[in-house]
Every structure is written in C-alpha cells, then in structure tokens.
Amino acid sequence: MQEKPRVVQEYVPGKQVTLAHLIANPKKELCGKLGIVDSNAIGILTITPCEAAIIAADAATKTADVQIGFMDRFTGSVVITGNVSAVEAALRQVIHLLADGLGFSAAKLTRS
C-alpha cells in the first residue's frame, strides 16, 4: 500500500492593510444597518495582524474628529465615522503610519 502524501497548511499573517475604503455620504439605511448614527462618511479598514486595529483606531481618532463606529481586535476590522474630510484624513494617516512607520504593505485608499 502506497502512503498518501500529506499537506500541511498554516496561516501566517503578514503586516498589511488589506482594505482602506471611504464611503462618502452613505444612505441612512446603510448607517442604520451598521448601527451607526447618521454620518457624512464611513471609513473601513481591514488590517493584519489584527491587533494593529488598536493602533489604527488610536491614530485615526488622534488625527481628526472621527468616532470609532466599530473595532474588532480579533479580525482586524476598524470602522470610523465623521465628516468626509475628517474620515479621509484619518484613513490617510493610518495608512501612512502603518506603511511608512511600521513597515506594513498597504492597499491604496479607495472611495465610493
């Protein structure tokens, strides 16, 4: 009997911002579904390692007048809210800090 080859797969997260997106002027229905009080803009980040979500949320709130709509240090998801220019400034600063300061690979900021 021939032995079957065995494959071992491991998840090894890199240091990266996989998503950085700004939603300008979201509809009230979207805000309601997300549990966000009516907001002019929503910023979304997905980061690995997931603990860096804490750094991102801290940097975002220190950069501009934004609020944390959601943060999950176990998945690396961060949602920030505020006016469009504040959310954009916060997202850009987070990307800059993580990419240039901490050596993360970063997705470019997208917008809808």
pLDDT in tens, 1-17: 677 777 665 555 689 99
Q: What single-letter amino acid sits at 55?
A: I
- CA 87/CA 93 separation, integer angstroms: 10
pLDDT tens figures, 67-82: 999 999 889 999 999 9
Element (H, E) at 54: helix 52-63
Record the pTM.
Answer: 0.85
